[in-house]
Amino acid sequence: MTVDEQIVTEAPAAYLERYGLMLLIRLFETEMQRLFLKGEVHGTTHLSAGQEAVPVGVCSALAPDDYLAGTYRGHGHALAKGTHPDALLAEMLGRVTGVCGGRAGSMNVIDAEHGLVGCFGIVGGSIAAATGAALAAKGQGRVAVAMFGDGATNHGYFHECLNFAQVLALPVVFVCENNFYGEFTPMLKVTAGGDIAGRAAAYGIPASVVDGNDLWAVREAAVEAVARARSGGGPTLLECQTYRHHGHSKADPAKYRPPEEVERWLARDPLGVAKARLAELGVSEQELSEVEETTRARMEQAVQSALAAAYPDPAGETATEFAP
């Protein structure tokens, strides 16, 4: 079966489930914002609302034991890879039931059980982590994926790792979530050449520009790239164009973005795009609302359980500097 056939012959139910996952991410981000304002989320946090189709589409192409390295804007990365929303939210709230016991927080989540190598707070760090995971993955029949932003493509990590991965023909997929801003700075202002996918040519790596707000498009590109990686064909770069609905982090009202631009992107909300497509595929209103209801309930349950959990007791912590 070719990649196209795989995508096309898949039952709509699979996409309905993925839509549910996208919605879960959206609801998670909404809760994060609400809880931040309530003082329950600490420090800072980077929301990915608007970008959900990318991690969900990419992870839909992965096996559970494939590896993913995400970023500080990583709630969607973790949820899409299989991290339990309860454990993720508890981590954000600094609770002892968090996936890292509250030690890591929003920017540094690690969930090895679900193949989440980590979320990395250093721009470009995820690229290196996935490149390394691909070294191990090669002998394990697995694939590693790096998620990173447009801003990261100007970083030394990007260049060195793409070259390194191609030279060694590593099973890795480089997924750029191009949301057209790095913090407050427009991508075009700091990205010479203005073309992210085009940079792959420097390394002889195949690349494509993907509609990052279209779950189907992302999945299709990812399935192809993952198949190439798994079969020894080496790395691929996917530039998934998308948009964040919120500012860069909690403190940023994102006033630097032209209102028309924001509106244009809001009109192509990945959830709306997916809903319309599901309808076209014959998924009923009722099927949709059922999934939405389940997802809402799941999120509600995550909030309750995270809020009910205790903070870690410093006196009871048994942390050691070194592994034995």
Partner 1 sequence: MSAGAALEFRVAIREAIVEEMERDESVVFFGEDIAAEQGGVFAVTPGIQERFGTERVFDTPISELAITGAAFGAAVTGLRPIIEIMFGDFMGLAMDSLINQSAKYWYLSREQRSVPLVVRSAVGGGGRFGAIHSQTHATWFQGVPGLKIAFPSSPAEAKGLLKAAIRDDNPVIFLEHKRLYSVKAQAPAPGEVLPLGQARVARPGRDLTIVSAGKGVPDALEAAGQLARDDRIEAEVIDLRTLRPLDIDAVLASVARTNRMLAVEEGPATGGWAAGLLGIVAEHGLHDLDDVWLLSTDELPIPYSPTLEDAFIPGAAAIASAVRERAGVVVGR
Contact residues: ligand TPP, CB under 6 A: 73, 121-124, 148-152, 177, 179, 181-183, 248
* Binding partner of 112, given Mg ion, a second copy, ligand TPP, none, CB within 5-8 angstroms per partner class: none
Q: Report residue 281 as tokens.
A: 């595929």
CB nearer to ligand TPP: give 82 or 121: 121
**DSSP-H helix ranges across the chain:** 3-9, 12-37, 53-59, 75-81, 85-92, 125-140, 156-167, 187-190, 215-230, 259-266, 270-280, 285-308
321 is a site residue for partner 1 (CB under 8 A): yes
Convert residues 172-201 into a mask of x (bound to Mg ion by CB under 5 A) and - (unbound).
-------x--x-------------------
CB nearer to partner 1: give 118 or 270: 118
71 is a site residue for partner 1 (CB under 8 A): no
Which one of residues 5, 9, 189, 267 is an interface residue with partner 1 (CB under 8 A)?
189
What residues numbered 173-232 form the site for a second copy, per CB under 8 A?
A: 189-194, 198-199, 201-205
CB nearer to ligand TPP: give 51 or 97: 51
Look at residues 273, 270, 271, 212 and name the one whose alpha carbon lies nearest to residue 238.
212
205-233: burial string, b at 16+ Cβ within 10 Å, e else? bbbbbbbbbbbbbbbbbbbbbbbbbbeee
Chain contacts with a second copy (rule: CB under 8 A) = 154-160, 162-164, 166-167, 189-194, 198-199, 201-205
